[in-house]
Amino acid sequence: MRLTAAVRQQLLDQNEGFERRTSFEGKNFTEYRTYRITGGQLHYRSSGKTSGADSRFDNTYVATDEETHRFLYKYKAELNTHGL
């Protein structure tokens, strides 16, 4: 299945509420991400810490088209793809 813009939007629409958590740990850096499909868009929350003083972060974003494409491609086996 090709993830054209129309197919991506259909996947987002029919997978409302899908959520996935990821984490990354590196030298002096830890990040946790929570992805959620809401309102036909992919939203994610990024939180974690770095090595500096007052280095905690917690941000919420709407994913770009490119980020959405990569997410849907990576998790397409877990998504509802009925009718595509």
> Is 67 in a helix, a strand, or coil?
helix
Q: Are strands 56-62 and 29-38 parallel, antiparallel or unpaired?
A: unpaired
> Biggest alpha carbon distance in the chain?
51
Query: What tens digit of pLDDT does each residue of 9-30 get?
Result: 999 999 999 999 999 999 889 9
Instruction: Rounding to the nearest 10 degrees, give the CA dihedral for residues 3, 4, 5, 10.
Output: -60
Name the helix (H) or strand (E) containing 68: helix 65-75
- The DSSP output letter for 76 is T
Query: What tens digit of pLDDT does each residue of 43-77 get?
Result: 999 999 988 777 899 999 999 999 999 999 999 99
Q: pTM score, two decimals?
A: 0.87
Residue spans of the domains in the chain: they are 5-75
